[in-house]
Amino acid sequence: MDLQLENRHVLITGGSKGIGLACALGFLKEGARVTLVSRDIANLNRGMQALQQGVPDASSRIAIIAADLSDAHAAAAALDQAEQAGGPVDVLVNSAGAARRTPPAELTPQAWHDAMQAKYFTYIHMMDPMIKRMAQRGRGAIVNVIGAGGKVASPIHLPGGAANAALMLASAGLAAAYGPKGVRVNAVNPGLTATDRLKEGMAADAKLKQISLDEAMRRAHEHLPLRRIAEPEEIANAVVFLASPRASYISGAILAMDGAVTPMV
């Protein structure tokens, strides 16, 4: 299926690794241009090299910007830089930031603040100026990669889950508010996915349950109806579709991608 993304400008926060990098690869394969935004320039350079290896003819369609998106001014400056260099952004994918997994007995008020800053505000700081520009142009698509922890409370992911739940509400609300302006907003909620962050979460789970990391991983696989953890590319496939004109009447959707581990209507 041609997703009609040829030459579209896609800005991906958290695009240097994990799900964000997998999304970048997916968009490049569809002929889009991508701008990756992340805090660490070394990670960005590694991510760009990986993309160049994955799509050898795409070097001219990749740009990188280092920015700390927990700072609203830095996020706005990164957006300005992206549009000055690559033209108006057609698609925004937010995949930056993650709250630390912490056993409940170790939580502090600061941990809750840190979680909102790390996940919720990094998304909002880019979404707020971006969606207003898209509205002025009368077109645009935003896909937020959030997380299943915002639907079901996990004892080791309470602050992060609260940030995820807030992002889901913001995504749905912005979809309704900006739909009349031609902007679609959707969200994807991955479950366990084979990224660098998975090991951190598994370690926190193992600590809480007083089991080994290997045992925590074994139990996680056993708990999943599909009996395996998702690959980043599988999440990216859904993101790329939702961002594409092929999904032109999908907006305000919150797509669960946990492999049916939480059978909710």
Any domain includes 227 = yes
Strand order in the sheet with 91-94: 62-66, 33-38, 9-13, 91-94, 140-145, 183-190, 254-257
261 against 145, higher pLDDT? 145
Residue 265 lies in a domain: no
pLDDT tens digit sequence for 11-51: 999 999 999 999 999 999 999 999 999 999 999 999 999 99
**pLDDT, tens digit, for every residue of 179-236?**
999 999 999 999 888 787 777 776 777 777 888 877 877 777 777 888 888 999 999 9
pLDDT of residue 263: 80
Domain assignment of residue 98, yes or no? yes
CB neighbour burial string for 204-227, b if at least 16 within 10 angstroms, e if fewer: bbbbbeeeeeeebbeebeeebeee
pLDDT at 265 over 90: no
With a pLDDT cut of 70, the percent of the chain lying above it is 98
**How many Cβ atoms are within 10 Å of 7's Cβ, its own excluded?**
10
CATH number of residue 205's parent domain = 3.40.50.720
**Phi and psi at residue 261, in whole multiples of 5°?**
-65, -25
Percent of the chain with pLDDT over 90: 75
Decide if 1 is inside a domain. Answer: no
264 located within any domain: no
pLDDT at 108 over 90: yes
Residue 2: partners with Cβ closer than 8 Å, 6 or more residues away? none
pLDDT confidence bin for 89, thresholds 50/70/90: very high
| Residue scoring higher pLDDT (157 or 165) | 165
Does a structural domain hold residue 209? yes
Structure tokens at 108: 């502090």
Q: Which pLDDT band holds residue 59 (cuts at 50, 70, 90)?
A: very high
In the chain, the number of structural domains is 1
Range of the domain at 108: 9-257
In a domain, 164, yes or no: yes
3-state DSSP assignment of residue 144: strand
Please state, rounded to an integer, the average pLDDT across all residues of the chain.
93
Q: How many residues does the chain have?
A: 265
In a domain, 35, yes or no: yes
Position 69 confidence tier, pLDDT thresholds 50, 70, 90 = very high
